[in-house]
A = this chain, B = another copy of it.
Amino acid sequence: MIAIVKQSATQEQLDHFVKWLEGRGLQANVSQGSEETVVGLVGDTTAVDPFLLESMDIIERVTRVSEPFKKANRKFHPDDTVVDCGHGVLVGGGTFHVMAGPCSIEGDNLFAIAREVKAAGATMLRGGAFKPRTSPYANQGMGVKGLQLLHDAGVENEMPTVSEVMDARDIPAFLDNDISVLQVGARNMQNSTLLKELGKLDKPILLKRGLAATIDEWLMAAEYVMAGGNGNVILCERGIRTFETRTRNTLDTNAIAVAKHLSHLPVVGDPSHATGYTRYVVSAALAATAAGADGLEIEVHSSPEHAWSDGAQALTPAQFKNAMRRISLVREAVTMEDE
């Protein structure tokens, strides 16, 4: 961390500042230039609040030299992390996997959907049992019964399963039903008590980016899980909030490329939530793939009009199958060799 000291600061003020830093266990490396004085803070600066420094009278500006995330940082772990999700599905490190299925698990129709998405090329089965809803009056999901159905449909089709966990108290139900990947939704990206509990597991965690989160905050959320000992984190870009109202969210394809540059964790895209309308899902799926995603999570429902939730953004199995053909070709463009 670097603090730039105002030209107006006296030597006495500077000395006092250096002493204050030392009192917090930091070493201060002062370098007086002709136009500014730069103080480099050496030591563990994770506990130093840059806002506090900037509020001090003699400080002009404060800059972090190094990212606040360590375990998620590609600088310290240059090789891609590969997350083993079971059934031979390895996410990251050059593979490409598609998770598909209904937004909400609704009952036995899950089995038919599972068969169809598998036939079309999906390698993982997604379905929501606990649903975060804006309205307390909206359907909140099937709960544990849904997890059981998901488990059974996964076993029948030999596919790893993905489902959202919203509360630490529900984790045992996910373990009992052997759900392969526990998903953290956008609303819970900064729910630190939940992230800490997931850090104690050895299950893969699919971490969605928050609605208004920066990439750094997203990686700090991954760091919460990893700091607890669980390095099996898959990042998921699912669209951010912008001023645009013609789509539900705005897919940030840049974020896929940036997250892969800054971190070794795999990154997948969710074109369903990132658009909110079926008519835009396929182009968003292609765009996320083109940006370098390691996979996709797509909502598929055999009868979107009758879905419990988010039917507006679901593909039918036939639409999904055609999308998969295009996705494969885009993936070829991404992985082709430069001349």
List 3 tightest A-B contacts by C-beta distance, closest first: A212-B212, A286-B290, A329-B333
Q: How many residues of A contact B (CB 8 A)?
A: 119
Note all chain B residues with C-beta closer than 8 A to A46.
Answer: 135, 137-138
Note all chain B residues with C-beta closer than 8 A to A169.
Answer: 168-169, 193
Q: How far is the CB of A57 from chain B (nearest CB, A)?
A: 10
A177 at the interface (CB under 8 A from B): no
A334 at the interface (CB under 8 A from B): yes
Residue among B132, B251, B305, B321 making CB contact with A52, cutoff 8 Å = B305
Binds B, one of A83-91, A94-102, A145-153, A242-250: A242-250
A287 at the interface (CB under 8 A from B): yes
Which residues of A from 32 to 75 have beta carbons under 8 Å from B?
Answer: 33-36, 38, 40, 42, 46-47, 49, 51-56, 60-61, 63-66, 68
Residue among B56, B134, B140, B188 making CB contact with A217, cutoff 8 Å = B134
Given A65-B36, A135-B46, also A326-B322 (CB < 8 A)? no
Residue among B245, B261, B332 making CB contact with A214, cutoff 8 Å = B245
CB-nearest residue of chain B to A292: B283
Residue among B33, B212, B283, B322 making CB contact with A339, cutoff 8 Å = B322
Residue among B20, B52, B167, B313 making CB contact with A312, cutoff 8 Å = B52
Which A positions have Cβ atoms within 8 angstroms of B? 2, 4, 20, 29, 31, 33-36, 38, 40, 42, 46-47, 49, 51-56, 60-61, 63-66, 68, 132-140, 166-169, 187-188, 190-193, 195-196, 211-217, 220, 223-224, 227-228, 239-248, 250-258, 261-262, 274-280, 283-284, 286-292, 304-305, 307, 309-313, 321-322, 325-327, 329-330, 332-334, 336, 338-339
How many copies of this kind of chain does the complex include? 4
Residue among B51, B252, B312 making CB contact with A244, cutoff 8 Å = B252
CB-nearest residue of chain B to A191: B191
Inter-chain CA distance A257–B279, complex, in Å, is 9
Residue among B65, B211, B311 making CB contact with A49, cutoff 8 Å = B311
Note all chain B residues with C-beta closer than 8 A to A42.
Answer: 33-35
CB-nearest residue of chain B to A323: B338
